[in-house]
Amino acid sequence: MIVPHSNPASAARALHEYLGWTNPKDFTVDEIASSLGILVKDAPIEGSDGRILIKGKTAIITINSAITRYERRNFILTHEIGHFLLHKNISALFSDTELTLSEWYKKGIHEQEANTFASEFLMPEELFKAKVVRQKLSTNLIHDVAGYFGTSLLATFIRYVTLGEYPAMVIFMKDATVCWKLYSKDFPFTYLPKESKVPAWTVAGDYFYKGQLEAQPEKVSAIEWFPEDYQIKYKSDSKLWEQCYQVGRNCLVSCLWTN
């Protein structure tokens, strides 16, 4: 029996303990859902990536059949399991779009909690730290870690920002406007106001203003992203690596890290 937890990370760890989970290869997420009495099906869904209908101790999770990437489906399914364990007494139906699953710091507390649950369950803190300890941040590292956990590059990078050892930042943008940011405590620049326009001379700027999305990370001048940051006057020549991922119509996430 799983002891209920209101804290999403604690709920994820409790599920690990209940299952005897030790690493990502122990069980598939579909097998875990089945063990909880949840029926999982793939079907076309208009305007949604995933939804869960909860009735008492059981539930039906539907994943949009248009989603073919294993890593993305994994996260959506785990996110819905989070709703089942955390929110079954709050609402019988949750429906999630790609934006719901990408906006990690949106106002809806239930979506924040489901995302936190999925992140901790798929990439447990202690195991994640062990995978990245004393390793310099690079796209190769993120690829390797994502492959081990069966998660997307974006979800893995976001996890790295909170648990990794090197300075990094994630910026979520919509319609060339900054919506939110998340950064490690040692990232050198932090002043980037919400609703500010995406700067043109950046990888994100190439996407919004030129319709181009680079496949590989590019070096950009820190002053382009942070012209008003207090520290920039001391570090005006600083360069950052930038890698962007599209997450929905006219929405983008930029991942920044230091050299």
6 pLDDT above the threshold of 80: no
Q: Are residues 101 and 193 in the same domain?
A: no
Pick the range with the lowest mean pLDDT from 1-10, 35-44, 169-178, 230-239. Answer: 1-10
The conformation of residue 216, written as its DSSP 8-state character, comes to S
158 part of a folded domain: yes
Query: Cα separation of 49 and 1, whole Å?
Result: 30
259 part of a folded domain: yes
Residue 120 in 3-state DSSP? helix
Are 195 and 178 in contact by the 8 Å Cβ rule? The answer is yes
Handedness of CA 167, 12, 142, 110 (dihedral sign): negative
Are 95 and 114 in contact by the 8 Å Cβ rule? The answer is no
Query: Cα separation of 241 and 256, whole Å?
Result: 6
141 part of a folded domain: yes
Query: Cα separation of 191 and 227, whole Å?
Result: 9
Q: Are residues 69 and 149 in the same domain?
A: no
pLDDT of residue 108: 64
Query: Would you place residue 256 in the very low, low, confident or very high pLDDT band (cuts 50, 70, 90)?
Result: very high
Are 179 and 173 in contact by the 8 Å Cβ rule? The answer is yes
Query: Cα separation of 211 and 203, whole Å?
Result: 11
1 part of a folded domain: no
- Among 122, 145, 177, residue at a domain's last position: 122
Query: Would you place residue 49 in the very low, low, confident or very high pLDDT band (cuts 50, 70, 90)?
Result: confident
Query: Would you place residue 247 in the very low, low, confident or very high pLDDT band (cuts 50, 70, 90)?
Result: confident
Q: Are residues 131 and 143 in the same domain?
A: yes
Across residues 56-81, what is the average pLDDT? 92
Q: Are residues 70 and 149 in the same domain?
A: no
Are 108 and 71 in contact by the 8 Å Cβ rule? The answer is no
pLDDT tens profile 83-100: 999 987 665 556 555 555
pLDDT of residue 248: 74
Question: Distance of alpha carbon 50 from its chain centroid, rounded?
Answer: 16
Q: Are residues 134 and 189 in the same domain?
A: no
Query: Cα separation of 8 and 110, whole Å?
Result: 10
DSSP E strand boundaries for 167-235: 168-174, 177-183, 218-221
16 pLDDT above the threshold of 80: yes
Q: Are residues 74 and 39 in the same domain?
A: yes
Residue-by-residue DSSP string for 59-106:
EEEEEETT---HHHHHHHHHHHHHHHHHHTTT-SEEEE-HHHHH-TT-
pLDDT of residue 33: 96
Q: Are residues 183 and 259 in the same domain?
A: yes
Query: Cα separation of 127 and 131, whole Å?
Result: 6
Question: What rounded mean pLDDT belongs to the chain?
Answer: 89
Q: Are residues 199 and 254 in the same domain?
A: yes
Query: Cα separation of 79 and 121, whole Å?
Result: 10
Query: Would you place residue 54 in the very low, low, confident or very high pLDDT band (cuts 50, 70, 90)?
Result: confident
Domain containing 117 equals 8-122
246 part of a folded domain: yes
Q: Are residues 201 and 133 in the same domain?
A: no
2 part of a folded domain: no
Q: Are residues 12 and 108 in the same domain?
A: yes
pLDDT tens profile 137-183: 988 999 999 999 999 988 999 999 999 999 999 999 999 999 999 99
pLDDT of residue 136: 86
3 pLDDT above the threshold of 80: no
44 pLDDT above the threshold of 80: yes
Domain count, the chain: 3
Q: Are residues 138 and 189 in the same domain?
A: no
Query: Would you place residue 259 in the very low, low, confident or very high pLDDT band (cuts 50, 70, 90)?
Result: confident
Q: Are residues 74 and 109 in the same domain?
A: yes
pLDDT tens profile 182-226: 999 999 999 999 999 999 999 999 999 999 999 999 999 999 999
The reported pTM is: 0.85
State the CATH number of the domain containing residue 98: 1.10.10.2910
- Among 122, 157, 182, residue at a domain's last position: 122
DSSP E strand boundaries for 103-238: 168-174, 177-183, 218-221
